[in-house]
């Protein structure tokens, strides 16, 4: 076994590998960029080496820098994680040339599966079932379109060197093909340095089921059952589970045998994942093979009781597989939900921000949190916006799903937009509970998933108002204690008024609803709280007093109309997040309207939805455009976003050029809508 390994990755996967290495007594070396100098994986490792600037192409993708760090520290092996250099055949070969073990498959296997079109050819010859498609060398747009037209729409464009949904587009008609092809090729070139494409017939109701395989250097192979990864957005997985619901033993065995056949065809070693499309009639088709550990590997670990990173290390060190096929069994059910800094209500655009408050659910035998960030860390524009992987396990699917929804309700994050509420709605939806799954699940059930949880104003408005009253009083007491005249009436925040009841008045914006609220101080120290908006009016009685320790730090304990409630309230940049077991509610104080101080209205234009880089301007200045036509294309956090004309009109002027970095909210283009007739 190795004494020291280097982990050529960052974030949660680097932390994940470090934990297993530490368990085995193996020392670890982390690498880091300028953006990751204070990151968790750097702190956890025994050593860390700086390898470059924040952009991954100037750090984590520089194979020479990684190898230099390995030689500098005396690391005997490199674990590539997933992404970055994990499926880079040249890097694997360079490791071998420098007498450093690459903890992954042989160079030939990576090369064989590195091109999706070549992989299809190999799998076809090996007898693995394939989806109908075009995988040819002629990459001219006309030929690609000709094959798509002949195949019939919808079709799926896929980068031959791709993965993780990059360089992939669904095309529903011939008219959409050219623009989709340009976007897919551009994204593929940016992500993989290769813009070759293949085309497949798009199955409209398939499930995405993948098989975890493992081979040692002695030629022994096993499959560790399957994962269902059907629930996806942007062709990237959202919630994964193992085993696949409804899977019968005959189909499981057939898919497992096909996966082993695929791996044997390329003389595989180590951990790999063979991905299939499973149709309703139980027929299945090879999609691709990922020659690395997958993001969703923990669900397989949870149902098998095996540590797959430990298996990787043992196989790479020349040891035999720990178990044979007949020794592997399925125990219970597991889910993984990916917690991202992204906005599901804005096409899942990644967002940046500081994790000003981060409280994951408590870990146990049933709940596991794999993360690479801590409270106070920044989600930057340079990398994937994953915050954590939430993994749960229980004896069967229903119990595991209950664990998942409970854990999601306990996940509390403030300082950036996240997908936690979206995940909760998805996991709690009736179709998901019934395991009515396919790759179009999110679009098909968008009304169920994207609804805003109805806020019980009767419950949360009094909590928000009570917090503001108590916080004002506590802040005033703190200021008084630090004053030379602590008993000055100017330090009082009791809401006292001449000839009137003591009262606290606020204007709040709570989850998008403007409310006027008032807290009247009662003789027993409690409050009568009233609130109103254009269509809501309510009252509530809060028992207790300012001196009863209702608010301790960020913990609020309240008795509202006889109902005792516990909440956590945190503030960031003037926005308050109120967390209870039932919901997360955001509110802020509305400043008085003093009118437009500068008197200037902003010029008509379109703004950047996020920090990123301008990668293309499909039209020129002074060009007439149609509603929905692409006018600016941005790239950020490994994803591409197209900004389209909101109406027929004219692009008067661009404020940035291709290659420019822009801040979120920056005005990109001066656009004039055509006058309506």
Read off the pLDDT band of 459 (50, 70, 90).
Answer: confident
Q: Is the pTM of this model over 0.95?
A: no
HSE-up (13 A, CA, CB side) for residue 98? 22
The pLDDT-based confidence of 598 (bands split at 50, 70, 90) is very low
Given this model, what pLDDT does residue 644 score? 87
CB neighbour list of residue 448: distance below 8 Å, 6 or more residues apart: 425, 429, 430, 431
Give the C-alpha separation, 242 to 393, whole Å: 10
Residue after which a domain boundary falls, among 295, 323, 351: 323
User: Which pLDDT tens digit goes with each residue over 111-170?
Assistant: 999 887 788 889 988 899 888 888 888 999 999 999 999 988 989 999 988 766 778 899
Q: Residues 316, 433: one domain?
A: no
Rounded Cα distance, 207 and 46, in Å: 42
The domain total for the chain is 6
N- to C-terminal Cα separation, the chain:
77
DSSP secondary-structure letter at 497? B
Query: pLDDT (tens digit, 9 = 90+) per residue, 273-290?
Result: 999 999 888 989 998 899
CA atoms of 264 and 103, how far apart (whole Å)? 18
Same domain, 443 and 475: no
Residue 231 CA, chain-centre distance (Å), reads: 13
**What is the pLDDT at residue 522?**
77
Residues 264, 251: Cα–Cα separation, whole Å: 20
Q: What is the mean pLDDT of the chain?
A: 88
In a domain, 411, yes or no: yes
Residues 315, 268 share a domain: yes
* Token pair listed for 22: 């530490």
Domain residue limits at 28? 4-103
> What Cα–Cα distance (Å) separates residue 194 from each residue in 84, 157, 414?
15, 14, 38
Q: What percent of the chain has pLDDT over 90?
A: 54
Distance CA 65, CA 31 (A): 9
Q: Are strands 27-33 and 101-102 parallel, antiparallel or unpaired?
A: unpaired
Q: What are φ and ψ of residue 261, in 5° steps?
A: -60, -40
From the candidates 65, 233, 292, 403, give the one annotated as an active-site residue.
292
Two tokens, residue 457? 């104003």
Q: Please tell me the distance from the alpha carbon of residue 161 to that of residue 188, in angstroms, as a whole number.
A: 8
Kindly state whether residues 447 and 340 are assigned to the same domain: yes
CATH number of the domain residue 570 falls in: 3.30.700
Q: Are residues 409 and 508 in the same domain?
A: no
Indicate whether 119 belongs to any domain. no
| Count of CA atoms in the C-beta half-sphere (13 A) of 239 | 26
| Measured distance CA(112)–CA(288) in Å, rounded | 11
Residue 582 sits in the same domain as residue 622: no
- 573 lies in some domain: yes
Residues 154 and 89 in one domain: no
Q: Is residue 14 part of a domain?
A: yes
With respect to residue 114, please indicate whether it lies within any of the assigned structural domains.
no
Helix (H, G, I), strand (E, B) or coil at 375: coil
pLDDT at 100 over 80: yes
Q: At 220, list the tokens.
A: 């022994």
- CATH number of the domain encompassing residue 612: 2.40.50.100
The answer to whether residue 116 sits within a structural domain is no
> pLDDT at position 476, please?
76
Residue 525 lies in a domain: yes
Asked if residue 169 and residue 214 are part of one domain, the reply reads no
In three-state secondary structure terms, 404 is: helix
CATH number, domain of 393, equals 3.30.470.20
Band of pLDDT at residue 603, cut at 50, 70 and 90? very low
How sure is the predictor about 493, in pLDDT bands with cuts at 50, 70 and 90?
Answer: low
What CATH number is attached to the domain comprising 167? 3.30.1490.20
- In terms of phi and psi (left: phi > 0; alpha: psi -120 to 50; beta: otherwise), the region of 547 is alpha
Contact (Cβ atoms closer than 8 angstroms) between residue 622 and residue 644: no
CB 468 within 8 A of CB 460: no
pLDDT tens for residues 420-443?
999 999 999 999 999 999 998 999
Instruction: Give yes or no: residues 338 and 390 share one domain.
Output: yes
Judge if 445 and 461 occupy the same domain: no
Residue 212 inside a domain? The answer is yes
Same domain, 347 and 436: yes
pLDDT in the model for residue 202 = 84
Using only C-alpha atoms, the chain has a radius of gyration, in whole angstroms, of 28
- Among 267, 292, 323, which residue terminates a domain? 323
Say if residue 258 is in the same domain as residue 280. yes
Residue 292 known to be catalytic: yes
Q: What is the pLDDT of residues 327-342, one digit of tens each?
A: 999 999 999 999 999 9
pLDDT at residue 405 in the model: 96
CA-nearest of 197, 342, 215 to 274 is 215
Compute the average pLDDT of residues 34-55.
Answer: 97
């Amino acid at each position: 076994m190795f004494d020291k390994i280097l982990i050529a990755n960052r974030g949660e996967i680097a932390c994940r590998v470090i934990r297993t290495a530490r368990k085995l007594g193996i020392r670890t070396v982390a690498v880091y960029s300028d953006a990751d100098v204070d990151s968790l994986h750097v702190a956890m490792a025994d050593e860390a080496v700086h390898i470059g600037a924040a952009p991954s192409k100037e750090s984590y993708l520089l194979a020479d820098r990684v190898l230099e760090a390995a030689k500098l520290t005396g690391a005997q092996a490199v674990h590539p994680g997933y992404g970055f250099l994990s499926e880079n055949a040249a890097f694997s070969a360079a490791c071998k040339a420098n007498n450093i073990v690459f903890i992954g498959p042989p160079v030939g296997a990576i090369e064989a599966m590195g091109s999706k079109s070549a992989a299809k050819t190999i799998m076809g010859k090996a007898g693995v079932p394939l989806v109908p498609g075009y995988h040819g060398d002629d990459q001219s747009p006309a030929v690609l379109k000709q094959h798509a037209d002949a195949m019939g729409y919808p079709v799926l464009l896929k980068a031959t060197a791709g993965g993780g949904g990059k360089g992939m587009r669904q095309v529903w008609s011939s008219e959409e093909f050219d623009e989709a092809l340009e976007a897919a090729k551009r994204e593929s070139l940016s992500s993989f340095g290769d813009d070759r494409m293949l085309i497949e017939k798009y199955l409209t109701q398939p499930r995405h089921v993948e098989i975890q395989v493992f081979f040692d250097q002695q030629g022994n192979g096993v499959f560790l059952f399957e994962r269902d990864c059907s629930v996806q957005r942007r062709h990237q997985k959202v919630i994964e589970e193992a085993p696949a619901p409804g899977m019968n033993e005959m189909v499981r065995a057939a898919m497992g045998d096909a996966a082993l056949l695929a791996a044997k065809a390329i003389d595989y070693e180590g951990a790999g994942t063979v991905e299939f499309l499973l149709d309703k009639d139980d027929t299945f088709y090879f999609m691709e093979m990922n020659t690395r550990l997958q993001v969703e590997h923990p669900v397989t670990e949870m149902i098998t009781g095996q540590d797959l990173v430990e298996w990787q290390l043992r196989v790479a060190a020349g040891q035999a597989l720990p178990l044979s096929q007949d020794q592997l069994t399925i125990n219970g059910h597991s889910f993984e939900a990916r917690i991202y800094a992204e906005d599901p209500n804005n096409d899942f655009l990644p967002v940046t921000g500081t994790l000003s408050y981060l409280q994951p659910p408590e870990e146990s035998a049933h709940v596991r949190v794999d993360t690479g960030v801590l409270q106070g860390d920044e989600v930057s524009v340079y990398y994937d916006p994953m915050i954590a992987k939430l993994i749960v396990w229980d004896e069967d699917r229903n119990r595991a799903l209950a664990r998942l929804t409970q854990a999601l309700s306990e996940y509390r994050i403030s300082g950036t937009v996240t997908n936690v509420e979206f995940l909760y709605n998805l996991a709690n939806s009736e179709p998901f509970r019934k395991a009515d799954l396919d790759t179009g699940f999110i679009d098909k059930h968008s009304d169920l998933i994207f609804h805003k949880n109805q806020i019980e104003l009767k419950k949360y408005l009094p909590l928000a108002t009570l917090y503001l009253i108590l916080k004002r009083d506590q802040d005033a007491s703190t200021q008084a204690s630090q004053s030379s005249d602590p008993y000055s009436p100017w330090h009082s925040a009791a809401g006292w008024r001449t000839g009137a009841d003591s009262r606290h008045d606020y204007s709040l914006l709570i989850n998008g609803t403007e409310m006027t609220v008032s807290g009247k101080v009662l003789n027993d120290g409690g409050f009568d709280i009233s609130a109103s908006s254009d269509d809501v009016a309510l009252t509530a009685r809060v028992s207790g007093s300012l001196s009863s320790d209702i608010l301790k730090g960020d913990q609020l304990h309240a008795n509202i109309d006889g109902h005792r409630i516990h909440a956590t309230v945190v503030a960031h940049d003037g926005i308050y997040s109120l967390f209870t077991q039932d919901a997360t509610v955001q509110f802020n104080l509305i400043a008085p309207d003093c009118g437009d101080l500068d008197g200037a209205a902003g010029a008509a234009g379109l703004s950047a939805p996020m920090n990123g880089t301008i990668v293309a301007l499909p039209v020129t200045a002074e060009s007439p455009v149609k509603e929905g036509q692409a006018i600016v294309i941005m790239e950020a956090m490994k994803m591409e976003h197209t900004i389209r004309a909101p109406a027929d009109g004219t692009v008067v002027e661009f404020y940035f050029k291709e290659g420019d970095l822009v801040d979120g909210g920056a005005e990109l283009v001066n656009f004039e809508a055509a006058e309506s007739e």
